[in-house]
């Protein structure tokens, strides 16, 4: 057992032997800070010596003895003297950056505290904490402020998720500009952008110093109908597509490869469309896809590890026709026949409910290049509506050139491998692999534009500008066999684009609606009425979106009128005159005939084939009381001559002694006629009516002064269904075929100057 005085000595050792002069010879010549602060050569940092001493509880009793012997007050002993402030450093031209070698990893959740490098990437089109609604996001930017610093560098941009949920991707930087596509996940996506170049110091180290950060929030949009993606093949198809032998050996040309390539092409469509809508200041709108929980294919790591993700679903649809039959139909140039065959297969597969619209973009997997005839069989480039099915169809003859993952986007759009016409198609300006990718991906997007109601335009995807579709994804174009040029830097204004009119259509389309859009009125239609003074009045419950103006001989629209859709300022009624329209036209076309198409924010349209005739006196009728009545635009698409039209004005509108009391609607699969019965049992018949046709009666509340205020009509080639609307807000049943044709609410515009019939 140790003597008691040794215990006391051991307890007093740290406090008794601490002095303000160090005896450590290794610190000779060091300058002390003075006072009672720790010596410069102390082996114990101040934070430990004065705050975290492991034996501090043993020093409390004996510390007073030591303090007395040293002549120090309790306050001086308890707290070390503050260190004098450092003198400000001289100004330097050196750039301080975070993450430099030896400084350690960045703090603050991966974001640097120090000023960023002048070579840090800057994103131009996506602000911090932006909200997007699609999985694929296209970004572009520059390396720092290249104009301010006057530098033009080539290198690479690496995009990394801070949570490593998606592997990092690398994108080329040319002349200090870059373009990249980011694969997003629902929720906040915290991203780091690292620039490296062999011309910059420390840019190739494991701790990059030229970095910037961006957070993008992605919210899946499930409130809009999806664009379905389908691969259609013959009932006896082997599920393979045309590919050069070397490429087929390297990556395969079976159904699994086709699914991955078609899915990535769809992501490219989505990223491109959302960016175009953003540039037109209409929000990041894009069609969404139906998704399924499956093995991830968007990156190589997912395929290698078998990671499961929610990916765009590719429906595999077998046609009732054989491969030989599908290819033979195309050989006879019966494109519409092939479209109808695909439409039948798609309808049978999805089995939609009556009145349910479907949007399907289909890839014909059995398209085949015939070197002998130099044609592609089993291929059709078509898009449009087949009843309630909106369908786009395109062949797989360029599918081999598509990227199958996000890492392959740049290689696919810069691959100059010549097209081997012994195995794959060498038509339509696709002399190299990257040009074939443009034709296939862009051409299919063109038909998908038709699916959404876009006609051909003056420029953009709907003209054929998709031959430069690659420019939206790479900063430098490769050698082009189409133009026989070596390519060069791809400026933003040289990229492929959606035409302004296409974007206006998309803004009004149900498939492009965003979660924060105001609720849309159920009446999506638009109506046109002539009025006094050569005016045309157009009304729409959802508001007027834009008006297209066509001159005689025009195949595409070159002049249009936009109606702003700012919140609370939607124009539900507009007035047009001949003078208003002609002054907007080019000088050379101001004396030609006029045709207009009026579009609503609900996506519907009304066409006036001859504006001058529509607003002329021929559209008016003089009633018994000398009041002028005007004919509205006919409903549906009647195949009858002008002398077969029937005009009818209510007796109660011209005489004060009659009151309309009930209506009999004669209908079956369509509406055949309307009989209006007055309180004196007199009646008027519009259309046909007899005992052999089913007739339903709708009574008006005469005592409360109820009258007809309008009709809800469903019309195609004829009036499929009709519903009566009254001044008291009542509605009759829908008489006829309730899901036939397109729906429209027929109401007269707000004016007291005329009557419409």
Give domain status of residue 77, yes or no: no
* Rounded Cα distance, 464 and 459, in Å: 7
pLDDT in tens, 135-160: 999 999 999 876 666 678 999 999 99
Number of neighbouring beta carbons within 10 Å of residue 516: 9
Helix axis angle for 255-279 and 500-508, nearest 10°, is 100
Of 647, 650, 538, 639, give the one whose Cα is nearest residue 598: 538
* Rounded Cα distance, 742 and 723, in Å: 13
pLDDT in tens, 725-745: 998 989 999 999 888 877 888
pLDDT in tens, 698-711: 999 988 988 888 88
Give domain status of residue 9, yes or no: no
pLDDT in tens, 315-331: 999 999 999 999 988 54
**Both 555 and 437 in a single domain?**
no
pLDDT in tens, 545-582: 999 999 988 999 999 999 876 555 788 889 999 999 99
Total number of residues shown for the chain: 757
- Residue indicated by tokens 């079976």: 254
CATH (domain of 127): 2.60.40.10
Residue 411's SS3 state is: helix
Q: 361-365, 443-447, 568-572, 677-681: which has the minimum mean pLDDT? A: 568-572
Contact 687, 722 (CB under 8 A): no
Give domain status of residue 186, yes or no: yes
CA 346, 322, 320 angle in degrees (round to 5)? 35
Q: What is the pLDDT of residue 479?
A: 94
State pTM to two decimals.
Answer: 0.80
Q: What is the pLDDT of residue 686?
A: 86
Q: 410-414, 515-519, 649-653, 657-661: which has the minimum mean pLDDT? A: 649-653
**Both 330 and 461 in a single domain?**
yes
The secondary element (H helix, E strand) that includes residue 311 is strand 308-312
**Both 601 and 504 in a single domain?**
no
* Rounded Cα distance, 397 and 485, in Å: 25
**Both 500 and 542 in a single domain?**
no
Contact 506, 273 (CB under 8 A): yes
Residue that is last in its domain, among 193, 218, 243? 218
Residue that is last in its domain, among 218, 237, 254? 218
Give the mean pLDDT of the chain: 82
**Both 361 and 241 in a single domain?**
yes
Q: Residue 257 above 70 pLDDT?
A: yes
**Both 213 and 240 in a single domain?**
no
Alpha-carbon dihedral 349, 352, 357, 363, rounded to 10 degrees? 0
pLDDT in tens, 163-202: 999 999 999 999 999 999 999 999 999 999 999 998 887 6
Which of 157-161, 602-606, 650-654 reaches the highest mean pLDDT?
A: 157-161
**Both 579 and 447 in a single domain?**
no
* Rounded Cα distance, 182 and 473, in Å: 11
Give domain status of residue 296, yes or no: yes
Q: What is the pLDDT of residue 101?
A: 38
Residue 611's SS3 state is: helix
**Both 214 and 240 in a single domain?**
no
Give domain status of residue 41, yes or no: no
Q: Residue 413 above 80 pLDDT?
A: yes
Q: Predicted confidence band at 113 (pLDDT cuts at 50, 70, 90)?
A: low
**Both 675 and 749 in a single domain?**
yes
Residue that is last in its domain, among 191, 218, 245? 218
CA 140, 146, 152 angle in degrees (round to 5)? 95
Q: What is the pLDDT of residue 640?
A: 64
Contact 428, 400 (CB under 8 A): no
Give domain status of residue 47, yes or no: no
Total number of domains constituting the chain: 4
Q: What is the pLDDT of residue 566?
A: 59
pLDDT in tens, 57-104: 444 444 444 444 434 344 443 444 444 444 444 444 444 444 443 334
Of 403, 407, 475, 391, give the one whose Cα is nearest residue 438: 403
> Domain span at residue 365?
227-508
Q: What is the pLDDT of residue 280?
A: 95
Give domain status of residue 56, yes or no: no
**Both 589 and 478 in a single domain?**
no
**Both 538 and 476 in a single domain?**
no
* Rounded Cα distance, 753 and 748, in Å: 12
Q: What is the pLDDT of residue 329?
A: 81
**Both 483 and 431 in a single domain?**
yes
| 595 class by beta-carbon count within 10 Å (0-12 exposed, 13-18 middle, 19+ buried) | middle
The percentage of the chain sitting over the pLDDT mark of 70, rounded to a whole number, equals 79
């Amino acid at each position: 057992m140790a003597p008691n005085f040794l215990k006391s000595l051991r307890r007093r050792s740290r406090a008794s032997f601490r002095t303000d002069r160090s005896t450590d010879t290794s610190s000779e010549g060091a300058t002390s800070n003075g006072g009672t602060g720790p010596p410069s050569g102390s082996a114990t940092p101040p934070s430990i010596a004065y705050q975290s001493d492991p034996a501090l509880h043993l020093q409390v009793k004996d510390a007073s003895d030591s303090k007395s012997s040293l002549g120090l007050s309790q306050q001086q002993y308890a707290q070390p003297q503050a260190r004098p402030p450092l003198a400000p450093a001289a100004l330097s031209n050196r750039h301080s950056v975070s993450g430099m070698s030896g400084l350690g990893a960045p703090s603050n959740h991966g974001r640097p505290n120090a000023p960023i490098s002048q070579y840090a990437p800057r994103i131009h089109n996506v602000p911090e904490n932006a909200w997007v609604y699609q999985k694929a996001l296209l970004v572009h930017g520059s390396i720092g402020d290249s104009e301010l610093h006057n530098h033009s560098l080539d290198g690479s941009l690496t995009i990394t998720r801070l949570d490593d949920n998606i592997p990092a991707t690398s994108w080329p930087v040319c002349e200090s500009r870059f373009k990249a596509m980011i694969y997003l996940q629902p929720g906040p996506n915290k991203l780091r952008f690292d620039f490296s170049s062999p011309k910059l110091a420390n840019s190739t180290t494991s701790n990059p110093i030229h970095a910037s950060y961006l957070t993008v929030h992605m919210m899946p949009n499930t409130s809009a109908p999806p664009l379905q993606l389908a691969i259609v093949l013959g009932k006896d198809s082997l599920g393979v597509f045309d590919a050069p032998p070397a490429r087929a050996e390297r990556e395969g040309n079976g159904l699994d490869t086709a699914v991955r390539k078609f899915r990535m092409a769809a992501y490219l469509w989505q990223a491109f469309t959302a960016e175009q809508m953003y540039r037109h200041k209409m929000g990041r709108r894009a069609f969404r896809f139906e998704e399924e929980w499956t093995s991830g294919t968007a990156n190589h790591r997912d395929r290698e590890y078998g990671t499961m993700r929610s990916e765009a679903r590719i429906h595999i649809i077998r046609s009732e026709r054989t491969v030989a039959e599908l290819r033979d139909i195309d050989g006879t140039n019966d494109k519409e026949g092939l479209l109808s065959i695909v439409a039948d297969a798609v309808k049978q597969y999805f089995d939609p409910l009556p009145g349910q619209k479907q949007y399907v973009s289909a890839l014909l997997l059995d398209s085949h290049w015939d070197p002998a005839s130099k044609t592609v069989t089993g291929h059709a480039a078509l898009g449009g509506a087949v009843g309630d099915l909106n369908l786009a169809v395109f062949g797989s003859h360029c599918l081999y050139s598509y990227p199958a993952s996000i890492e392959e986007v740049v290689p696919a759009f810069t691959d100059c491998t010549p097209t081997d016409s012994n195995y794959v198609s060498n038509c339509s300006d696709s002399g190299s692999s990257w040009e074939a990718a443009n034709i296939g991906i862009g051409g299919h997007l063109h038909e998908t534009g038709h699916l959404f109601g876009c006609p051909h335009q003056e420029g953009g995807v709907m003209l054929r500008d998709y031959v430069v579709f690659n420019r939206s994804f790479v900063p430098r174009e490769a050698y082009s066999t189409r133009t026989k040029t070596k390519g060069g830097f791809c400026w933003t204004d040289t990229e492929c684009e959606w035409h302004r009119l296409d974007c206006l259509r998309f803004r009004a389309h149900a498939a492009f609606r965003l979660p924060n859009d105001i609720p849309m009125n159920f009446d999506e239609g638009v109506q046109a009425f002539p009025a006094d003074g050569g005016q045309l009045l157009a009304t729409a419950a959802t508001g007027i979106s834009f008006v297209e103006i066509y001159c005689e001989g025009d195949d595409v629209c070159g002049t249009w009128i936009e109606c702003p859709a700012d919140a609370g300022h939607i124009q539900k009624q507009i007035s047009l005159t001949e003078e208003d329209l002609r002054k907007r036209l080019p000088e050379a076309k101001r004396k030609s005939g006029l045709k207009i198409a009026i579009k609503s924010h609900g996506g519907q349209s009304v066409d006036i084939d001859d504006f001058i005739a529509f607003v002329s006196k021929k559209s008016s009728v003089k009633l018994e009381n000398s009041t002028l009545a005007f004919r509205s635009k006919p409903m549906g698409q009647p195949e009858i001559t002008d002398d077969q039209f029937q005009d009818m004005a209510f007796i109660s509108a011209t005489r004060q002694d009659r009151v309309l009391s009930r209506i009999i609607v004669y209908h079956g699969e369509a509406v055949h006629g309307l009989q209006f019965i007055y309180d004196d049992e007199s009646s008027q018949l519009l259309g046909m009516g007899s005992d052999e046709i089913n007739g339903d009666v709708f009574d008006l509340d005469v005592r409360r002064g109820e009258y007809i205020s309008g009709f809800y009509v469903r019309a195609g080639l004829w009036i499929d269904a009709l519903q009566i609307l009254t001044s008291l807000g009542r509605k009759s049943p829908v008489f006829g075929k309730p899901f036939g044709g397109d729906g429209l609410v027929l109401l007269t515009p707000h004016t007291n100057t005329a009557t419409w019939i």
